[in-house]
Amino acid sequence: MTPKALLEVCTALMRDVLLFELPADVVVSTFFRRNKALGVRERHTLAETVYDVLRRRLLYQHLSQRGPGAPERRMAILGWAGDALFLKAALTPEEQKWLAQAREVDVATLAPKLRHNLPDWIAQPLQSQLGEEGFWALVATLDQTAPLDLRVNALKAKREAVQAALAEAGIEARATPYSPWGLRIDGKPALNKLDLFIQGDVEVQDEGSQLLALVTDAKRGEMVVDFCAGAGGKTLALGASMKNTGRLYAFDTAGHRLESLKPRLARSGLSNVYPIQIAHERDDRIKRLAGKIDRVLVDAPCSGLGTLRRNPDLKWRQSPAAVRELNAKQTAILTAASRLLKPGGRLVYATCSLLQSENEAVGAAFESGHADFERLDVAKILAGLGITDAESLASAGNLRLWPHLHATDGFFAMTWRKR
């Protein structure tokens, strides 16, 4: 495709994405299905350009206030992730002049909002929580793409053997610093064609998500519930921890998410998992298990703001009103899940959000009405499992993972034991 044609295609894609009617990854994949003639390099350039614009949207809007062409075209030019000479060949003389002027702007002199590229309702609580130095360190990390983390299926393989097999395939992987199951890869290799993926030796899963399964610490022969299982990443990790014994219930209200668990479950070799679609947190199928469960993991529906390196559109698609609605849902789900536990059972509440309103505040509200639950120290749990530097993963006894500190997605977990 010629430079001019590809820039026009990129502009069309940018226009679709910036409507924010659907998640960016859905818009991009749908666009590619409609434009099957695009090659691998062209798709890569288009996708990376879109995500760069989403990360720096406020800055690019400011820089493109004046200039030739449509706004979406100017945004695409500023975020262009492909070859610079290729782009230059697509630009008019007026666009080349405008782009040169835009690149001369010293971003460090601009207003903070144009440098951090976050809505005020997200930036302000994070600044209060982290302080100036920590906040800007987080901002710098959110501007980068996330690495690819894998979880080795302990039921089938050992980490060292998988690492060696990846090396033979020309993929360099290093052990994650905290999770004993994790491997980290830079870039996005085609893993789904490798034998070790097809046979279920590995799953794609962020190290932070692996740590949630470790905090739950499901044991052999137990009755365990993954209350908001989704596509089942943590379900599979819990099942492997249980050595394929006991019973592991995977609940979710979305049937399509549980459907996507099935092929992963088949690869994993697990036979102790029972996926169940529920209507809501008060479903009778949940009530029948009341007081019988050893461990419950509630990875609650949340804003997802801990995944901004992967999903930068979330900061523009979420809102304070949406988070307030989520808070009510989080509280209701956590309360319902707590009724499943037998005395001595463990309850884990988790999100992939950075906001205290979805994390500590929800946990504190639960504690205020449930004196029969005793808070556990996450750092002690992880240290007891042999996790290196477990104290650095915790804040006030809760799991607190930050992209700029731990190189994971942003995760939170609070855990209790039923008295």
| Residue (of 144, 153, 203, 141) closest to 180 by Cα position | 153
Rounded CA separation 337/165 (Å) = 40
The order of strands in the sheet holding 148-152 is 174-175, 182-185, 148-152, 202-204
Rounded CA separation 84/19 (Å) = 27
For residue 383, how many other CB atoms are within 10 A of its CB?
16
Helices (H), 143-206: 159-168, 195-198
Element spanning 213, H or E: helix 207-216
**Inter-residue contact 84 to 48 (CB < 8 Å):** no
* Residues with Cβ within 8 Å of residue 183, at least 6 apart in sequence: 149, 150, 152, 159, 162, 163, 166, 173, 174, 175, 176, 202
Q: What is the DSSP letter of 386?
A: T
Helices (H), 1-157: 3-17, 24-34, 40-55, 57-63, 71-78, 84-90, 93-103, 112-116, 120-142
> SS3 for 275?
strand
For residue 94, how many other CB atoms are within 10 A of its CB?
11
Residue written as token pair 């610490």: 217
For residue 209, how many other CB atoms are within 10 A of its CB?
23
Calculate helix-pair angle for 24-34, 40-55, nearest 10 degrees. Answer: 150
Concatenating the DSSP letter of every residue in 65-85 gives SSSSS-HHHHHHHHT--S-HH
Rounded CA separation 264/386 (Å) = 28
| Residue (of 410, 396, 400) closest to 215 by Cα position | 400
* Active site residue ranges: 352
